[in-house]
Structure 1
Amino acid sequence: MLYKYICLFLISLFSFALFGQGETSNWYFGNGAGIKFNNDGTVVPLTNGRINTFEGCASLSDAAGNLLLYTDGIRVYDGNHSLMQNGSGLYGDPSSTQSAIIVQKPQDPNIIYIFTVDTSTFEDDPDLGLNYSVVDLSLNGGNGAVILKNVNLLEDCSEKISAVVKNCMDNSIWVVVLGTYSGGVGRFNTYYAYEISPTGVNATPVKSTFNDLQVVDPRGYLKFSADGKTLASANSSNGLYIYDFDANTGVVSNQQILTITAPNKFPYGIEFSPNQQFLYTHTSNNEPANQDGGHSSSLLQFDLTATDISASEVEIDRNPIYRGALQLGQNGKIYRTIAESYIKGTPYLGVIENPNEKGIAANYKHNAISLNGRNATQGLPPFIQSFFDRVEIVKNTDGSTSTSLDICYGEPFNLEVENIPGATYNWEKDGNPITNPSNVLAINTADVTDSGRYSLEITLSDPSECPIIGEAFISVNPLPNAPFLSLVQCDINTNNATDGITFFNLEQAIFDTSYTFSFYESPADITTNSPITDPIGYVNSTPFNQTIQYKVADEMGCENFGELELTVRSVVFTPDDEKSFYQCDDNPEDLLLESTFDLSDFQQVNYPNKDIAFYATLEDASLEQNSISGVYKSISKTIYARIEDSNECEDIDVIHLVVNPTPSFTFDNEILWCTDGPPLPIKAPGGFDFYRWYKNEGGLNQEMGNQQDLQVSSTGNYTLLAGYIYNTNDGSFECTNEVEFEVIPSNIAKIEDERIEDIWENNLIEVIVSGDGDYEYSLDGNNYQDSPEFRNIQPGFPIIYVRDKNGCGIARKKISVIGYPKFFTPNGDNYNDSWQIIGANSLFQAESIISIYNRFGQLVAQISPKTEGWDGTFNNNALPASDYWFRVSLEDGRIFKGHFALKR
């Protein structure tokens, strides 16, 4: 009898160390990210973490949920988030899948072992294998210190590690890794199980070798089921395996490979459901880690109770994300990292809400947990899986069980387990004992204070059996507030505005849109669940005053009931209730008389400091639906202003929106004025009430006139404004339209010069002019051209004509084009009887000297352009027919020579 008592005492002591409630309460991972599990099963983000890791991490809290330490496998941080004394230089690696796992020494809560698994990430990066370091929490003022560092157990191993309780009698824990048969470098085919007991770490492992296992890819998680009977191993490109595990001996056996048929076939994260029926794995397409896009991952479920486990595969999610971890939480849900790439995480976690359910009923939610701006990467902290070996103690109304329950204030709930003969039932809530020796804990009327974490330790009569641990997370939600409500409505029923019967929009009484409201005419209707079917168009059945009921429900379905009083206020429209809002037609060019009304401005002017809303119809004003506000585009129509005080209708005003026609007219954009002429008279289109002319001077408009006509005496930019005047009860109202135009200068050309190339076969004239006009050119006064250049001009005295295209006049100039005849016939017929240069006379080149020579070079005549020319004689004697030469010295200084023929 004494022996049994001692065993039970040891079991109780050991179970207190291993099966406390809060060891998994705080998780730290990724880029300073973290989450905390509350006693009611809710999760909140933590932003005070200091680790920055791509993958591996580990954390541990005490039984009450207080953080003890966390690590990335290299640095250890204490519960105050300070680097622990001597807490750096551990042989883990932030790029190792499971860089570390933390194990508390059995029967010594102050001694913590941190097991680390290293990896090699580049050529000169050594892989230091499996090591452990020791933390003493009693040192450094209770903040702990690392007292032993990097004790090597294996030269090399895979990046995975897991831990589970051996049994209660031996007070031990197994830590298992995957390595090579020799323990050195090579292919991984051997599982090493190290026992951690009250005496410390046994460096001699239990080895389980599988000769047909040839793993070269170290990536992926290793995970026990919570009961310690099954071990799962994810090896990325080398596949997913499950094994049997004998917790008494540490032997791994019965290897099975699970074939993955989903498109993403590379397993990384793995986790068991709380009831240990299902295995979940996070697989990826194994695209290169350093690329930003192209990644894809699947979340798969396998049923371990199926005859063909591989064939039971169900893909419950697929997303364009990178590989990631899965980790069971103390609330019975499984959490998933959802990084975008190897180096780029996301500020969310995914959650499998009901992991004990088959297929899509597991209810996976993406981006379910916000990390408050901190990023999760690929890893989540692993724990001794025995922490999650719990029986479900929530007894649901359908007979099923679960680990969590959300209920409403006032509802009952039962926590219940099997009644085991001879067993002792010890209940706790939030760590505090509950006096209840039964296997059933019944709460008949739940209060908010009943929220929390309930645990049950069942001590069996057989001292060799470990205690059975049950756990439940209960959240009792308060009922939503249901105050007394009232609605005051104006009776604007057009049939009878004084009968106290009108429309109500009952939804106007809703005071919190996050709640769901239902309305009932009577308490009896609540009993029969017969709500008002049209709460927006409800017509009261009792004149002037009526009280109805309402139900308010939150998102959890928690309901409360209250009363809504309906009051009708009679409204009779009078002229004082009518106002007019005048505007001008926005677009006078179309056929629609429509304008834009600024209702906000109208409200400020006519209803200052009043609570009003505008509606297009009386029905909308009554039901407070489809309100209009701000800038409102409309034709002429009547709208209504509903005036309220504290959501009570005070009055309804009639607002007449009046759209007045805006002047429509056309006017030339450009007007030409001959600046060398008189002022230019211009005239606006007729038919308007007033006119205003403006000229833009230096950016300012200067008024030039207010009549229909205007005399323009200067060029520049002008504006013509024309308008209508409308007389209203509030005074006059103007609608105007305006056009901008430019007065452009033009005038008669001034011929400044001309360029003449003459005395050759293709004589040329180019006219050079100045002026503001648009000019064209002619040599005959009839045929004009745009070019000022003329070619092939006969010698003589042509007249140049320059005409302004805008009608301001013609400039003229006579010019001289020099040439000479090739022959002459002095025979007295008065035709071609003398020889003279052409284009020179008493006005042009008058002082030129013309010398004529015979073929022997003898000067035979010297003439002037002022004369008729040479008559073919020398000393009054007729010279013979022959060729003669000439030399001309023009008045302008030019000299040219040539010859011609004298014919008889």
Structure 2
Amino acid sequence: MNAIVSCGNTSFNNLSVQGPGIQEIPNLSCGSQENNSLWIKVTIKTDGTLGFLLTPQNSALIVDFDFFVFGPDATCQSLGSPIRCSTTNPIAAGTSDNLTGMNETEPDWNEGPAELGNNYVQWLDVLEGETYYIVVDRAAGNGDFSLEWTGTATFSEPPIVNGSTSGALNIALCDSDPIDDGSTEFDLTQSGNIAIGIQNNIIASYYLTENEATIDLNAIPNPTTFRNTVNPQTIFIRLENALSGCFTLSSFTLSVTPFNFPDLADLEECDTDNDGFVAFNLSEIRNQFNTDPNNIISFHHTNNDNINLPDIYTNQTAFVNEVLWAKIYNSVEGCTVYKPFTIIINRIPDAVPSQITQCDFEIFPDGMTTFNLTQANSDLTNGDSSMTTQFYLNTTDALNNQNEQNTLFNNTANPQILTVKITNPLNGCFSLTTLTLNVSLNPTTTVTLQSCDDNVEDGIATFNLADAGFETNGNAVSYYYNTNDALMEQNPITTNQFSGQNIYVRVENGNDCVGIHIIQLEVSAIPQATIDAQGILCTNLPNHPVTLHTAVNNPGNYNFYWAPNGETSQNITVTQAGDYTVTVTDTSTSCFTTLDIHLDASEAPVLEAVEVIDLVQINSISIVVSGNGDYWYSLDNGNYQQSNFFDAVLPGQHIVSIKDMNGCGIIYQTVFVLGIPNYFTPNGDGYHDYWQVRGLDINTNSRSKIYIFNRFGKLLKQISLVGEGWDGTYNGRQMPADDYWYSIQFDDGRNVKGHFALKR
């Protein structure tokens, strides 16, 4: 356990207790344990009485503080039993407040738990040298507490805090770091040294809150480099006697006075002689500050030396940048700030003397032409594309930045030498070199290329420009739409699709132009032809072949080739279905077009089955055929339909026809649909005098039988399906009007039963 040492009868304010604690209290006689506990150690200096008053910060009665007292010769290793304890609950005991403690009026030495007691027990009679431990425990509720000592006994004296009343402990600094935020580093020990003074065996520690200082919790770990978090900020100092453990608390204030400047811009200079050393004028740094006459500025190698550098300063190591420090001291505020800056040595760009050779686009060249000077940039800058180039007629113009020439330059002599200024745009450093302009005097030639239109009559064709023959002898060749682009080497052609036009060819050798020539492109039309099949190919009619016809104007101007047959006539006759291709070639240009046709075959239908559903309320017929054709169906010479299904078919004999719509044939089939009358009227008027099944096929139903019964199941008549039927009599006697039943046994094994009505 960590006990707070109480010295000099000093009272405590806002002591914090929290956490369940380690159960270190032995032999409790008041029926409790540690909950949120705080230990206080008291060593008696003079005899007398020892009491205290504990006042919770939260006065609600639900907040319940208990305490236990051990002594008079208690140690952390041997506490013994408590000699005083109080665990009374204010609400249970009915007290008017939640204060507790030890006083002279109470007779009992312990009280509690719960309703037992009145929050107080009798104080102690103590002697010099005795040590007591007081454990304060918050059994319920929340909040901190204050403790005031009572009685006549005194404790060992705490250290004295010197300078706390005069403000000598306070520290004020300038905000002189790079960030203007009211925060800087403090050495708290300078306040500690003042507070200790000439006292011996005194240890100073520093805290952010008074409670942490009281209980010695979370001491500031690095007091010599403490950075404030608010401005001003209060720091609590704890002076503790290393021998007695007595301590005292005080506080002091940290404050920060703003004294800051923005970051300095670096100094950059060009190393014009390229030796790695440059003289810098450091006085340019002063121009970056305000003109406050109280600011004294000097320059140094580090941020803590006292050796001033001269205003004209040369770097110490070739080509090595250095960090220097400007020291700003304000003679009024007494504040000092160091600001770093870098002196930067910039190399001048590489500059390579170069030459370019341009072509003179003429049949009889005179050596005067147009140059695109930027074509030399890579050579001039040694391949550094980040450099800029400017062109002048002479060195004087280049140094004075006058009479700069356009990069599209017309030479006036062959050869001609220009001065080139190469500049690094990042720092402005430049170098000078030369560019020699040469003109090639090779005459211009013309070559013609022909190609066929690409399958669409749009005048566009695919060309291989290399067929012109200029890409030989290691030459580099590029193609352009006009002479200006060819001369300036801009907008090169990247396609192989062209109309009839001129293309301009630039021929180079080693980046030197050795000629600009012309390619004349001619686009020839492809044959405009179509292909069709004359007739239908019926596989069931082998003597009726189909003609494949190629339609084209002036067929005598073309050659024909058929695949897969290999025939070479305009039209061919075929007897097999499949894919056919004809290639039509113009005999004058060799341009061709290829036409494809797929020839489908058809045939007459083959009847596979006739499915009849009859003897139901709605009769139907389904026709099943096979074959490779487009088949349509008709019932009793009615309109043809694509469906092979007919419904609502009346009983009787019907004719079904199936036709191939491609004209390869038609077949017919007779179909019988059976029907049974719901009634008959055997009265001799010639209508419905007999009851008989309708739609019979005599050839397939000659042995079928019909049995007729009355409602009582008596067999009245057996008739054949092929006769005229039942006349409504039984043994020559007319049967009365009534419902009668039938049972039909067909030749195909079907058995159908039902009833019908006889009407008189």
TM-score by length of 2: 0.54
Please state whether the residue corresponding to 1:790 is helix, strand or coil.
strand
Contact conserved, 1:410 with 1:447, CA < 8 A, in 2?
A: no
* Structure-2 separation of matches of 1:241 and 1:652: 83
Paired position in structure 1 for 2:412: 541
Q: CA separation of 1:525/1:671 partners in 2, compared to 1, >3 Å: closer, same or farther?
A: farther
Deviations 1:267-298 (A, max 9, x none): xxxxx9xxx523xxxxxxxxxxxxxxxxxxxx
Q: CA separation of 1:428/1:802 partners in 2, compared to 1, >3 Å: closer, same or farther?
A: same
Paired position in structure 1 for 2:261: 277
Question: Which residue, 333, 347, 350 being the options, matches 1:481?
Answer: 350
* Structure-2 separation of matches of 1:706 and 1:191: 115
* Structure-2 separation of matches of 1:677 and 1:449: 104
Structure 2, unmatched stretches of 5+, are 1-173, 178-183, 195-201, 236-251, 285-297, 328-335
Following superposition, the deviation at residue 485 of structure 1 comes to 1.9
Task: Letter of the 2:586 partner, please give it.
Answer: I
Following superposition, the deviation at residue 504 of structure 1 comes to 1.1
Q: CA separation of 1:871/1:862 partners in 2, compared to 1, >3 Å: closer, same or farther?
A: same
Q: CA separation of 1:535/1:708 partners in 2, compared to 1, >3 Å: closer, same or farther?
A: same
Residue 681, structure 1, aligned to residue 547, structure 2: yes
Paired position in structure 2 for 1:808: 664
Following superposition, the deviation at residue 514 of structure 1 comes to 2.3
* Structure-2 separation of matches of 1:668 and 1:608: 52
Q: CA separation of 1:233/1:635 partners in 2, compared to 1, >3 Å: closer, same or farther?
A: farther
Contact conserved, 1:663 with 1:722, CA < 8 A, in 2?
A: no
Within a 5 Å distance, the mapping from 1:402-417 to structure 2 comes to 404-410=267-273, 413-414=279-280
Residue 637, structure 1, aligned to residue 501, structure 2: yes
Please state whether the residue corresponding to 1:619 is helix, strand or coil.
helix
Paired position in structure 2 for 1:81: none
Following superposition, the deviation at residue 797 of structure 1 comes to 1.2
Q: CA separation of 1:770/1:563 partners in 2, compared to 1, >3 Å: closer, same or farther?
A: same
* Structure-1 separation of matches of 2:193 and 2:528: 96
Deviations 1:521-579 (A, max 9, x none): 2345335533444212x11112x3222222222333222222222222234333xx414
Please state whether the residue corresponding to 1:651 is helix, strand or coil.
strand
Contact conserved, 2:707 with 2:715, CA < 8 A, in 1?
A: no
* Structure-2 separation of matches of 1:193 and 1:163: 22
* Structure-2 separation of matches of 1:841 and 1:566: 111
* Structure-1 separation of matches of 2:372 and 2:675: 105
Paired position in structure 2 for 1:507: 374
Within a 5 Å distance, the mapping from 1:576-655 to structure 2 comes to 577-580=446-449, 582-585=451-454, 587-588=456-457, 592-597=458-463, 606-607=471-472, 609-629=474-494, 631-655=495-519
Q: CA separation of 1:714/1:638 partners in 2, compared to 1, >3 Å: closer, same or farther?
A: same
Contact conserved, 1:194 with 1:204, CA < 8 A, in 2?
A: no
Question: Which residue, 772, 779, 786 being the options, matches 2:628?
Answer: 772
TM-score by length of 1: 0.46
Task: Letter of the 1:255 partner, please give it.
Answer: V
Contact conserved, 1:691 with 1:708, CA < 8 A, in 2?
A: yes
Q: CA separation of 1:277/1:852 partners in 2, compared to 1, >3 Å: closer, same or farther?
A: closer
Contact conserved, 1:851 with 1:863, CA < 8 A, in 2?
A: no
* Structure-2 separation of matches of 1:858 and 1:898: 14
Deviations 1:304-352 (A, max 9, x none): xxxxxxxxxxxxxxxxxxxxxxxxxxxxxxxxxxxxxxxxxxxxxxxxx
Following superposition, the deviation at residue 617 of structure 1 comes to 0.5
Residue 709, structure 1, aligned to residue 580, structure 2: no
Please state whether the residue corresponding to 1:525 is helix, strand or coil.
helix
Paired position in structure 2 for 1:517: 389
In angstroms, what is the RMSD of aligned CA positions? Answer: 5.6
Please state whether the residue corresponding to 1:653 is helix, strand or coil.
strand
Following superposition, the deviation at residue 492 of structure 1 comes to 0.8
Residue 560, structure 1, aligned to residue 431, structure 2: yes
* Structure-1 separation of matches of 2:419 and 2:261: 48
Q: CA separation of 1:671/1:882 partners in 2, compared to 1, >3 Å: closer, same or farther?
A: same
* Structure-2 separation of matches of 1:239 and 1:638: 82
Following superposition, the deviation at residue 891 of structure 1 comes to 2.3
Contact conserved, 1:232 with 1:241, CA < 8 A, in 2?
A: no
Contact conserved, 2:508 with 2:515, CA < 8 A, in 1?
A: yes
Deviations 1:144-193 (A, max 9, x none): xxxxxxxxxxxxxxxxxx9999xxxxxxxxx95699xxxxxxxxxx9989
Deviations 1:588-631 (A, max 9, x none): 4xxx43345565x75899547421111110111112121123x3
Following superposition, the deviation at residue 643 of structure 1 comes to 0.6
Paired position in structure 2 for 1:311: none
Q: Point out the structure with max Rg over C-alpha.
A: 2
Within a 5 Å distance, the mapping from 1:735-884 to structure 2 comes to 735-739=592-596, 742-820=598-676, 822-823=679-680, 836-850=692-706, 862-863=719-720, 865=722
Following superposition, the deviation at residue 762 of structure 1 comes to 2.5
Deviations 1:197-248 (A, max 9, x none): xxxxxx977979999xx9xxx9xxx999xxxxxx99574xx689999xxxxx
* Structure-2 separation of matches of 1:744 and 1:194: 113
Q: CA separation of 1:507/1:670 partners in 2, compared to 1, >3 Å: closer, same or farther?
A: farther
Residue 720, structure 1, aligned to residue 581, structure 2: yes
* Structure-2 separation of matches of 1:807 and 1:770: 16
Deviations 1:788-808 (A, max 9, x none): 332222221111222334443
Contact conserved, 2:268 with 2:346, CA < 8 A, in 1?
A: no
* Structure-2 separation of matches of 1:547 and 1:814: 108
Task: Letter of the 1:734 partner, please give it.
Answer: C
Contact conserved, 2:423 with 2:431, CA < 8 A, in 1?
A: yes
Contact conserved, 1:669 with 1:742, CA < 8 A, in 2?
A: no
* Structure-2 separation of matches of 1:500 and 1:193: 92
* Structure-1 separation of matches of 2:503 and 2:232: 71
Paired position in structure 1 for 2:20: none
Identity of aligned residues (%): 26
Aligned pair count? 509
Deviations 1:850-895 (A, max 9, x none): 5668999576674462x566788999x8978977876543322234
Task: Letter of the 1:500 partner, please give it.
Answer: G
Following superposition, the deviation at residue 746 of structure 1 comes to 3.8
Deviations 1:797-855 (A, max 9, x none): 111222334443333210111235543769597x8776653222543423334566899
Q: CA separation of 1:693/1:782 partners in 2, compared to 1, >3 Å: closer, same or farther?
A: farther
* Structure-2 separation of matches of 1:447 and 1:726: 86
Contact conserved, 1:797 with 1:816, CA < 8 A, in 2?
A: yes
Q: CA separation of 1:838/1:500 partners in 2, compared to 1, >3 Å: closer, same or farther?
A: same
Contact conserved, 1:621 with 1:640, CA < 8 A, in 2?
A: yes
Deviations 1:395-453 (A, max 9, x none): xxxxxxxx6433132296245689xxxxxx99999xxxxxx99946576xx99936454
Following superposition, the deviation at residue 735 of structure 1 comes to 4.2
Contact conserved, 1:803 with 1:809, CA < 8 A, in 2?
A: yes
Contact conserved, 2:605 with 2:629, CA < 8 A, in 1?
A: yes
Q: CA separation of 1:605/1:647 partners in 2, compared to 1, >3 Å: closer, same or farther?
A: closer
Structure 1, unmatched stretches of 5+, are 1-161, 166-174, 180-189, 196-202, 225-230, 244-250, 259-271, 279-354, 358-402, 419-424, 430-435, 459-466, 695-701
